[in-house]
Structure 1
Amino acid sequence: MVVLLKRDWRGMENIPAEGGFIAAVNHNSHIDPFAYAHFQYNTGRVPRFLAKSGLFNKGFIGAAMRGTGQIPVYRESTDALSAFRAAIDAVERGECVAFYPEGTLTRDPDGWPMTGKTGAARVALQTKCPVIPVAQWGANELLPPYAKKPSLLPRKTHRVLAGPPVDLDRFYEREMTPELLKEATEVIMAAVTRQLEQIRGEKAPETPYDPRRERIEQRRRTHAQRRDERTQERTRGGRPAAREEGLGT
């Protein structure tokens, strides 16, 4: 990473020197894990990432992930909760677990963090460990989201800003309901977004991009399109009869 990216790293003093904690990091490039791991290695703490289980079967990358103790996430299966149990165990052993709360590369058109999933909040509230909000920018300029080839020149700068721990005290003594987890996740994502605002020197949108809302809108557009197509088919189907009766054009 030293060869590919220049460094502008700030907030390393906010990474706990000891004890378990969560790093909540924004996600805008496929090389984010390597770039962020480089940052955190330099603080003396080794992160463990939660990653899609399929990556553990991909040649060198899979071997590296298995060898470094990363945590597979088995989506849509009976093993889906095993990742959270592993994350809780790691934190309680005093390790760092790095979460990408968005769950995937951001789909925000301008690269801002999306709404988050509740996994990081769930582990944080169960263990009461510190949650460090981290923003990074620059790896996405080297390898933009969903790009197949990197843009090597000119050499890009990897900017990282780690903030102070997120204040989650008000959630600890409350029942862990879906509503509570959603609220805690919003607090975590707001802290991550504030770090990115400082890096970029601009304000994020007031309402984070929500991929679930986009999927709902896409379904609505699809249904409307199909309805229009059926209407057009019925209209076209009625024209021959109208012409036979002398009513067509």
Structure 2
Amino acid sequence: MPRRRIGFWYRFAAVLCKPWLVVLIKRDWRGMEHIPAEGGFITAVNHNSHVDPFAYAHFQYNSGRVPRFLAKSGLFTHGFVGAAMRGTGQIPVYRESTDALSAFRAAIDAVERGECVAFYPEGTLTRDPDGWPMTAKTGAARVALQTRCPVIPVAQWGANELLPPYARKPRLLPRKTHHVLAGPPVDLARFYGHEMTPELLKEATEVIMAAVTAQLEEIRGEKAPDRPYDPRRERIEQRRRTQAETGAETGVEISHEGENSK
């Protein structure tokens, strides 16, 4: 299937953004040969800075296969932002849908038209204290299994040094390097032809994220934690710690009350 033309809006965005990106960050980009030249595919990318969508889009733009990012459907309906989102071919996600597959219908359509759909499977900035990918949502796996398209794992590092997660001010000096490493397609063949149960989607998602994490290990030259950071698990453990601390404090107070009553 032929690739879609980049179009006016994407070229306009590139004219606005690329000069700033070139000035602010150096580039260490590898693995561009794994980006398919034709046909629809998914890239699964880690997310560790509010700047990295722009930095990563620069990498993809230079590959000749521009990414179509997923965004809330409400952003597509109003004013200049809506026009830009539509014009650059970004992908609306219909979170109000009660059917999980329908929520990603535009992403499926885009892949089937021969587009590159860029997923941040984590869904938000990683909350791992050391910047490793955390547990992910299953949207990328769902679209991949529905379309059987290639899934390219992509790791990036460096935009987070320019603007750390949740920081308000960038660290401009010294000039940072944006590292990108794209890997070969993730093998998901063993999941094809099966019912997309929550368990199967979770397993496929873990395979995708393991490939992304392996790419990041190569960039960073160090080993990721054996178990990815899980915000849900962390919240549960934090509640347990809080309850334990509260229980200990209550026990001390009761003891004191008992002593005072003597």
Same fold (TM over 0.5): yes
Comparing 20-29 with 52-61, which one deviates more in the overlay?
Answer: 52-61
**Where do 1:122-133 residues align within 5 Å?**
122-133=142-153
Letter paired with 2:36: P
Letter paired with 1:95: E
Letter paired with 2:71: A
1:190 aligned residue (210, 221, 235): 210
1:84 aligned residue (66, 82, 104): 104
Whether the 8 Å CA contact 1:71–1:83 is kept in 2: the answer is no
Where does residue 122 of structure 2 map in the other structure?
A: 102
2:225 aligned residue (185, 205, 219): 205
RMSD across aligned positions (CA): 2.4
Where does residue 174 of structure 2 map in the other structure?
A: 154
Q: Provide the C-alpha distance between the structure 2 equivalents of 1:26 and 1:92, rounded to a whole number of angstroms.
A: 24
Instruction: Report the CA distance shift for 1:143/1:54 in structure 2 as closer, same or farther (over 3 A).
Output: farther
Identical-pair percentage: 83
1:137 equivalent to 2:157? Answer: yes
Q: Provide the C-alpha distance between the structure 1 equivalents of 2:49 and 2:150, rounded to a whole number of angstroms.
A: 25
Instruction: Report the CA distance shift for 1:171/1:232 in structure 2 as closer, same or farther (over 3 A).
Output: same
What runs of 5+ residues in structure 1 fail to find an aligned partner?
none
Comparing 34-43 with 219-228, which one deviates more in the overlay?
Answer: 219-228
Counterpart secondary structure, 1:51: strand
Instruction: Note the C-alpha offset of 1:62.
Output: 6.5
String of CA shifts for 1:146-172, please: whole Å, max 9, x gaps. 110000001001010000100000000
Whether the 8 Å CA contact 1:125–1:172 is kept in 2: the answer is yes
Relative to the length of structure 2, the TM-score reads 0.83
Instruction: Note the C-alpha offset of 1:83.
Output: 4.1
Instruction: Note the C-alpha offset of 1:51.
Output: 3.0
Q: Provide the C-alpha distance between the structure 2 equivalents of 1:167 and 1:42, rounded to a whole number of angstroms.
A: 26
Instruction: Note the C-alpha offset of 1:72.
Output: 4.0
Letter paired with 1:205: P
Letter paired with 1:189: M
Instruction: Note the C-alpha offset of 1:206.
Output: 1.4
Whether the 8 Å CA contact 1:74–1:80 is kept in 2: the answer is no
What runs of 5+ residues in structure 2 fail to find an aligned partner?
1-20
Relative to the length of structure 1, the TM-score reads 0.87
Q: Provide the C-alpha distance between the structure 2 equivalents of 1:110 and 1:187, rounded to a whole number of angstroms.
A: 21
1:221 equivalent to 2:221? Answer: no
Q: Provide the C-alpha distance between the structure 1 equivalents of 2:219 and 2:248, rounded to a whole number of angstroms.
A: 46
Whether the 8 Å CA contact 2:97–2:103 is kept in 1: the answer is no
